[in-house]
Amino acid sequence: MPRVFGQLFSDGRDGILVTKPSQPFFGTERDETHFDVVDGSIDIELSPTPRGLYYNVGFKKHGDFRDTIYTLKWRIPSGVHELDISPKPAELSPQSKYLSSFETSFEVIARRMATEQAEQMQAKESLESELRRKTTESEELKEKIASLEKINSTALALRDEQIHAMHQTYVSEPTTIYVSVPVPPEPLKERISFLELELKRLIELNDTYYSAVLELNQVKLERAQTIRLPQTVEDIPDTTRQRLIQKLMAK
């Protein structure tokens, strides 16, 4: 195997050089391989890399057990017995030129990948913002529906109480009626008018309630089509109105 040696760091630091092939190939390990860095220099042996493959190279201090951050990419050409990676300001050796040009091409690739990653992160943030907005709208609709259900329940209870009270007050008794045409008493007319108004108001409340239910289900459908995330759909009671809503949503 070619010998790779030379000074990596001018400050003479000690540590560990970590190498890992971009893809496993014959003669190499799948996982990381560690080499000692002494006084900023290395003297190791690496297998030549086939075309299109390379070594990911990173540096760690002794005792650092975190994931390795790879900052270099090396290709070891075949037919080379020694490869000096020491910096040569005056003139670069053919092997160093080979590594330098290879690293430059990967810098371009890395910059392009960083740009694509930034665009993907921006798109992700946009989707997350839209999801938060839809969630807020859904919560507001749920609160409106709960309020309408409470009002509806109160109105229905009040109607039942009034009907019961009216029935108890004006229940017919087995008495002889001496008038030819019975005329309802004035309080009864007032109660009938009041109940008609209450019935009209309840019909309007029911229409508002079911409109809110339709709007909530439409928001859920739009969020599912936009985000494509799994969500739990509550079971809808099998009633005539709910079946009508399901048919409208299916269209």
DSSP codes, 121-166: HHHHHHHHHHHHHHHHHHHHHHHHHHHHHHHHHHHHHHHHHHHHHH
More confident residue, 50 or 249: 50
Q: Would you say residue 17 has pLDDT above 90?
A: yes
Distances (CA, A) of 17 to 65, 103, 107: 13, 17, 20
Topology at the third CATH level for domain 129-167+185-250: Methane Monooxygenase Hydroxylase; Chain G, domain 1 (1.20.58)
List, in sequence order, every residue forming a beta bridge with 169; answer none if it has no partner.
none
Residue 68 CB neighbours (<10 A): 17
- β-bridge pairing 3-7 and 82-84: parallel
More confident residue, 207 or 232: 207
More confident residue, 56 or 163: 56
* pLDDT at residue 91 in the model: 46
* pLDDT at residue 14 in the model: 92
Alpha carbons 239 and 130: distance in angstroms, whole number: 33
* pLDDT at residue 235 in the model: 52
More confident residue, 36 or 240: 36
The enclosing H or E element of 6 equals strand 3-7
* pLDDT at residue 19 in the model: 92
What percent of the chain clears pLDDT 70, i.e. is strictly above it? 72
Domain segments of the chain: what residues? Answer: 3-87, 129-167+185-250
More confident residue, 219 or 168: 219
* pLDDT at residue 138 in the model: 87
Summarised one tens digit per residue, pLDDT across range 165-213 is 776 665 556 667 666 655 566 777 787 888 889 899 888 888 888 888 8
The model's confidence at residue 15, banded by pLDDT at 50, 70 and 90, is: very high
* pLDDT at residue 92 in the model: 46
